[in-house]
Chain A
Amino acid sequence: MKKFTQLNGLVAPLDRANVDTDAIIPKQFLKSIKRSGFGPNAFDEWRYLDHGEPGMDNSKRPLNPDFVLNKPRYQGASVLLVRDNFGCGSSREHAPWALEDYGFRAIIGPSFADIFFNNSFKNGLLPIKLPEAEVDVIFKQIEEHVGYSLDIDLDKQTITRPDGKVIGFEIDGFRKHCLLNGLDDIGLTLQKADLIKAFEAKRRVEQPWLFA
């Protein structure tokens, strides 16, 4: 997994609540057996004017000029600013894969759906929860300043706005540790293989019907 330590990134605003993972990456792209290459199809139905299918040359498709990520001022954005309940719906990890492949490294919003939130951490994509009022201010500031970017420091758990204001954010200690060091969860868990084996052996005796 990619490490996440610090980021100074251009921010793109996606001003709608309940953005679901079907919108982030439509189902036809889930037929892939790979975990890369989803970026060109992130937000496919909003981003392009035609209907997208796997295998198309996306560089030749007509872009929807009204979709925020297509506006010249947000090209190269690595931070996505969102509204409530971002990433709701399907558990597809293709959603964070698509966002990460597009170029996002952090997503800031008032709330995230649980599974999406969890999946993001596994892919070096940092979801940050901020109070709604703070999110509102950033939405407003972006509107007023072309080239609006934020400084994110994971170790210090801070976001610094261009006006110098520093906003703190919360993150679980374990997730922070994994993200800062780019650690592979599986390797870490397997260090506890003996504990798992002991637990399993006890369970096999107590509830043998689970091990048919």
Chain B
Amino acid sequence: MPQTLYDKLWQNHVVHTEEDGTALLYIDRHLVHEVTSPQAFEGLKLANRKLWRVSSIVATADHNTPTDHWEDGIKDPISRLQVETLDANIKEFGALAYFPFKDARQGIVHVMGPENGATLPGMTVVCGDSHTSTHGAFACLAHGIGTSEVEHVMATQCLLQKKSKSMLVRVDGKLGAGLSGKDIALAIIGKIGTAGGTGYAIEFGGEAIRALSMEGRMTLCNMAIEGGARAGMVAVDDNTINYLKGRPFAPKPEQWDAAVAYWRTLVSDEGAEFDRVVVLDAAEIQPQVTWGTSPEMVTTIDGAVPSPDDFADPVKREGVARALQYMGLTPRTPMSEIAIDKVFIGSCTNSRIEDLREAAAVAKGKHVAPNVKLAMVVPGSGVVKRQAEAEGLDKVFKDAGFEWREPGCSMCLAMNADRLEPGERCASTSNRNFEGRQGNGGRTHLVSPAMAAAAAIAGHFADVRKLS
């Protein structure tokens, strides 16, 4: 019987299946960061357990780390303790690799993993972080887990799981100029809703997905969780293989050909059946901007803020009214008339080299608008930062009035000092526009890196395709 990519990945990792269908799934790669691991390590210590396989662990500190004045260390004592706890735990338990605060290869866990070749096709990848779905771009079965499961994987190298249903999201045709994986991701979530993927593993396919770079695919899979799907994935092709060649943890030359031969099988078979198929036409996708407090509350740059009256369902109507109140928006306001206070280019969604190139191309030779209090660029990792600097992107941003920061999660979730003040409105390349996500009372609009740069220059949301 023809199999989907998800079927193959699943089947390849089942150690045992219980009577009710709960499977014991083998985990190849366990990514670890400081926020969701301390309680798991403590659990191991209390039970006198060790890591099942030290070489499966790749760790970094990213959520709490500051993005400026690294020479001063981490000022917040509670944040510092959490980062130092990870240092101590890795020292005690071990890891294949650890990139601590200030390390040259430190970065956001979902940027650091792939760029080091720690994420390989056919792997199961887990992390105590919902955006682990990012790694599905490499034809991995990758998803976020809670801290109890982090401890379970540490102790047993396995996870108890039930197989999800399968969904194919096919994006046919060609994406227009000025658009990116972020616009595709938001357009999909706008179509299926934030719970549309609940209970499913999503495979993204079709011409527009094949045409995406690995960076674009990572952006797309990263946001599978915002559509409710724990896992998103893309089949292996030349892009996947070319990206991996020469990465530090990629297969050694003598294993490379065997690995590639296996990876080439990691595609859905012709005629494989999915439980649900959603089709989008790439040519119809326009630059996306969110207006509310859930990623599904999204429209195009040509669109306007909706009215609660547009929604028949009372729960939805109430939700929209509450969102508009929180966001300080009036129904029918054109998106392009909404002025912004801050701009954040970064996060595990959009902080890779290609994202920075796209934003820099828009910012080049222009200047951040006077009403924008802060426009910051936070590279996803030390590796991305150095690459960007080698290309002169840092200079482009700084000349245009952007701040060029050190890598980390930063204002995506504001666990460090980077945050919105109450009422501040932000054009953000991150993944969540939830209430308070970027700071208590902060108002987040999700956009692509190019659209964030365009908003910074214009001082309000603007169509990057029309920016002169």
* A contact residues vs B (CB 8 Å cutoff): 15-18, 20, 22-23, 26-28, 30-35, 45, 51, 54-55, 83-85, 88-93, 96, 111-115, 118-119, 122-123, 172-175, 185-186, 189-190, 192-193, 195-196, 199-200, 203, 207-212
**Contact status B26-A200, CB under 8 Å:** yes
Q: List 28 A-B contacts (CB under 8 A).
A: A15-B315, A16-B315, A17-B319, A20-B432, A22-B436, A31-B35, A31-B78, A31-B81, A31-B415, A33-B38, A33-B39, A34-B39, A89-B226, A93-B146, A96-B146, A111-B195, A113-B228, A114-B198, A115-B143, A122-B146, A172-B22, A185-B148, A186-B156, A189-B158, A196-B24, A196-B52, A200-B157, A212-B249
Name the one of B24, B96, B164 contacting A192, with C-beta atoms under 8 angstroms: B24
| Distance of A212 Cα from B415 Cα, bound (Å) | 34
The reply on B287 being an interface residue by CB < 8 A is: no
Contacts of A208 in B (CB 8 A): 255
**Contact status B230-A22, CB under 8 Å:** no
Q: Mark B1-40, 1 if CB is under 8 A from A, else 0.
A: 0000000000000011011111010101000000110110
The reply on B199 being an interface residue by CB < 8 A is: yes
**Contact status B162-A172, CB under 8 Å:** yes
| Known contacts A17-B319, A186-B155; A113 and B198 CB within 8 A of each other | yes
The reply on B144 being an interface residue by CB < 8 A is: yes
Contacts of A31 in B (CB 8 A): 35, 64, 76, 78-79, 81-82, 415
**Contact status A27-B157, CB under 8 Å:** no
Question: How far apart are A181's CB and chain B's nearest CB, in angstroms?
Answer: 15
Contacts of B15 in A (CB 8 A): 192, 195-196, 199
Contacts of A35 in B (CB 8 A): 39, 42, 147
| Distance of A173 Cα from B20 Cα, bound (Å) | 6
| Known contacts A30-B415, A34-B39; A115 and B145 CB within 8 A of each other | yes
| Distance of A118 Cα from B164 Cα, bound (Å) | 13
Q: Mark B202-246, 1 if CB is under 8 A from A, else 0.
A: 000000000000000000000001101110000000000000000
Question: How far apart are B214's CB and chain A's nearest CB, in angstroms?
Answer: 19
Q: Mark B313-324, 1 if CB is under 8 A from A, else 0.
A: 001101100100
* Count: A-B pairs, CB below 8 Å: 196
Question: How far apart are B422's CB and chain A's nearest CB, in angstroms?
Answer: 8
Interface-central residue, A18, A23, A186, A210, by most chain B CB under 10 Å: A18
Contacts of B123 in A (CB 8 A): 210
The reply on B151 being an interface residue by CB < 8 A is: yes
Contacts of A33 in B (CB 8 A): 38-39, 42, 81-82, 85
**Contact status B120-A115, CB under 8 Å:** no
**Contact status B151-A186, CB under 8 Å:** yes
**Contact status B38-A91, CB under 8 Å:** no
The reply on B181 being an interface residue by CB < 8 A is: no
Question: How far apart are A104's CB and chain B's nearest CB, in angstroms?
Answer: 17
Name the one of B24, B36, B144, B437 contacting A189, with C-beta atoms under 8 angstroms: B24
The reply on B252 being an interface residue by CB < 8 A is: yes
**Contact status B435-A195, CB under 8 Å:** no
Name the one of B130, B145, B294 contacting A18, with C-beta atoms under 8 angstroms: B294
Number of residues on chain B facing chain A (CB within 8 A): 84
The reply on B47 being an interface residue by CB < 8 A is: yes
| Distance of A31 Cα from B85 Cα, bound (Å) | 11
**Contact status A23-B434, CB under 8 Å:** yes
Question: How far apart are B231's CB and chain A's nearest CB, in angstroms?
Answer: 9
Contacts of A186 in B (CB 8 A): 47, 49, 151-152, 155-156
Contacts of B436 in A (CB 8 A): 22-23, 26, 45
The reply on B141 being an interface residue by CB < 8 A is: no
Contacts of B144 in A (CB 8 A): 91, 115
**Contact status B434-A185, CB under 8 Å:** no
Interface-central residue, A113, A174, A209, by most chain B CB under 10 Å: A209
10 tightest Cβ-Cβ pairs between the two chains A and B: A209-B251, A93-B146, A119-B146, A122-B148, A91-B144, A173-B20, A33-B38, A85-B195, A91-B130, A93-B147
The reply on B149 being an interface residue by CB < 8 A is: yes
| Distance of A50 Cα from B148 Cα, bound (Å) | 32
Q: Mark B66-98, 1 if CB is under 8 A from A, else 0.
A: 000000000010110110010000000000100
Contacts of B325 in A (CB 8 A): none
| Distance of A193 Cα from B148 Cα, bound (Å) | 19
| Known contacts A33-B81, A91-B129; A113 and B148 CB within 8 A of each other | no
Contacts of B38 in A (CB 8 A): 33
Contacts of B143 in A (CB 8 A): 115
Name the one of B20, B151, B315 contacting A174, with C-beta atoms under 8 angstroms: B20
**Contact status B122-A207, CB under 8 Å:** yes
Q: Mark B32-61, 1 if CB is under 8 A from A, else 0.
A: 000110110010000101001101000000
Contacts of A93 in B (CB 8 A): 36, 39, 128, 146-148
The reply on B369 being an interface residue by CB < 8 A is: no
**Contact status A111-B24, CB under 8 Å:** no
| Known contacts A22-B434, A88-B228, A190-B155; A27 and B195 CB within 8 A of each other | no
| Known contacts A173-B20, A174-B22, A209-B251; A196 and B36 CB within 8 A of each other | no
| Distance of A153 Cα from B187 Cα, bound (Å) | 42
The reply on B280 being an interface residue by CB < 8 A is: no
| Distance of A211 Cα from B437 Cα, bound (Å) | 38
Docked complex: B127-149 residues within 8 A CB-CB of A = 128-130, 132, 143-149
Name the one of A32, A84, A88, A212 contacting B315, with C-beta atoms under 8 angstroms: A84
| Distance of A196 Cα from B153 Cα, bound (Å) | 12
In the complex, which residue of chain A has the Cβ closest to the Cβ of B414?
A27
The reply on B259 being an interface residue by CB < 8 A is: yes
**Contact status B130-A84, CB under 8 Å:** no
| Distance of A211 Cα from B258 Cα, bound (Å) | 14
Contacts of B440 in A (CB 8 A): 26, 45, 51
Name the one of A22, A55, A89, A91 contacting B146, with C-beta atoms under 8 angstroms: A91
Contacts of A173 in B (CB 8 A): 18-20
| Distance of A175 Cα from B20 Cα, bound (Å) | 10
